[in-house]
Every structure is written in C-alpha cells, then in structure tokens.
Amino acid sequence: MTWRPRNESAGDVEREALILDAFCDAMSYARWIKLSESLYEIDAACFDSLDALMAWAEAKSRTKLYDHVLLSAAKALQLYRLHLATHVPAWFVIHVPGHGVMVHRIRAPHDYRIALAGNDRGQNGDKEPCIFIDHSAFSIIAPPLWE
C-alpha cells in the first residue's frame, strides 16, 4: 500500500523504461511489464519469449555513484519475498551517468547494513529504513543511456 506522495514524473517513467529495456537486453529476457505498485510494491517482472517469469526488478536512476547505493528496506524485503516464493532472482537495477546500467542481485535484508536514510523533501516517509549496498557489489551490464 502506498502511503506517501508519488514523486514520479513522466520523465522518470520514461527513464525507468529505458533502464528496464537495457536490463532485459543484457540479461536476454524477452520483455518486462510494469507491475501494480499496490499489489507488488516493486517496478517490474521480466519474462522469456514463452512468457515464463525470469526475474523481478526494481529500477532507479541515480545522478552519481556514491560509496553505497540505498534501497528502501521495504522494497528490499518485498524483492526478497518474491524471490523466495518463486525461486526467481530479484534484481536492483540502477543507471548512473558516466557508469551505465548496473545490477545487484538482492539477498536477505539482514545481509545488509540497515539504517535511517533517504531524501528529505518534507514529506511523510522521506526518511525510512534503507539497505546500504556497497557500489562494488553492482555489475555494469550496459553503457550509459544518457549523461
């Protein structure tokens, strides 16, 4: 259930689609679909050419690569739950200008440092528990899509 304002612009949706297209191409998945946020709480499911489920994915665009990449602990938990229930990998996919499209396969949330973090826009839920993923745990799978 979404309990905070959506801050996703039309441009954000377009960038997310480009990131997921690049992810599917690099991983040899045939296609992806945008999932209902209220039902799945993550961005996408990826399929092969016979429409078999191949992966779960959360996609983000970052403006720069820091030592750690943050993901909401709630999103990480949901990705991990879907992985456990389906035996299908769950991926955190990011695009960073100058670096490219990068992926990290989500593990159990207790494997990560979890701390209060996030962008403070003055909205309910801006600061929340997040997992901290060392940037070296990501693999580059595609060149930058934009600068």
* Model confidence pLDDT, tens digit, residues 111-144: 999 999 977 656 555 799 999 999 999 999 999 9
What is the structure's pLDDT at 4? 42
| CATH number for the domain running over 10-142 | 3.40.1350.10
Residues 6+ apart with CB under 8 A from 30: 24, 47, 48, 49, 51
Q: Rounded mean pLDDT of 102-112?
A: 97
Strands 44-47 and 68-72: unpaired
pLDDT of residue 118: 79
Give the integer Cα–Cα distance in Å for 44 and 4: 20
Distance from CA of residue 94 to its chain's centroid? 6
Distance CA 62, CA 93 (A): 10
Q: Each residue of 31-87: pLDDT tens digit? A: 999 999 899 999 999 999 999 999 999 999 999 999 999 999 999 999 999 999 999
pTM of the model: 0.91
Q: Check pLDDT > 90 for residue 6.
A: no
Q: What pLDDT does 123 receive?
A: 59
Strand ranges of the sheet holding 68-72, from the earlier edge strand across to the other edge: 68-72, 128-134, 113-117
* Alpha-helical runs (H) found in 28-130: 37-40, 73-86
